[in-house]
Amino acid sequence: MQTSMNFNGSQTMKVLSGMLVVIQFGLFFAILYLGALVTTNMIGLLTQLSGLIIYILAYISFNQKYFSFLPLPKKGAYIIMHGPYSFLRHPMYLGMLLITVPLTVEYFSHTIAVTQACFIVVTAILVYIEEYVFGNVDLNYKNYIKYTKMILPMLF
């Protein structure tokens, strides 16, 4: 099911969300740099691989015409309700977390832990911006959230 959206968001929201996305990706790559690209233990490696697969499947689920790294829908965009989006509203964020958390655990230091905590906070802010915007733009989103989890399957 696809629902069309028409939203031109305020300039302030575009700037704020753009800055948050830049910060989020900066923190993501900082964690990769501070740890390593991959963990050396099998559980961490499988977790990272799962995160990468979820991220790629979520990306593929998008109609590329409407894809945006900003948490604001492009004009004419619609809620994606297939692929990983059939059970999670934010699978790309889950994918990024599954890639970074094993690095934080394996290569633990205060620096990487603080970077991971900041990454989680920025990601949470972006999730809530998306939830707010989509909830106000499309009434079907309110139905969609009834049968999907936000980020963690079966939990949240």
pLDDT for 63? 73
Going from the C-alpha of 52 to that of each of 7, 33, 38, 152, the distances in angstroms are 30, 17, 11, 15
Q: Residue 152 domain-assigned?
A: no
pTM of the model: 0.86
Q: Residue 2 domain-assigned?
A: no
Going from the C-alpha of 66 to that of each of 27, 48, 82, 133, the distances in angstroms are 25, 27, 15, 16
Residue 65: which CATH number? 1.20.120.1630
- Lookup result for tokens 């297939």: 82
Q: What is the mean pLDDT of residues 92-99?
A: 96
User: Reduced to 3 states, what is the DSSP secondary structure of residue 149?
Assistant: strand
Q: Residue 123 domain-assigned?
A: yes
Q: Residue 129 domain-assigned?
A: yes
Number of domains present in the structure of the chain: 1
Q: Which domain holds residue 142?
A: 11-147
- Tell me: pLDDT of 133 over 80: yes
Q: What is the mean pLDDT of residues 102-108?
A: 96
CB-based contacts of 138, cutoff 8 Å, min separation 6: 3, 5, 79
pLDDT, tens only, 40-68 = 999 999 999 999 999 999 999 987 777 77
pLDDT for 9? 53
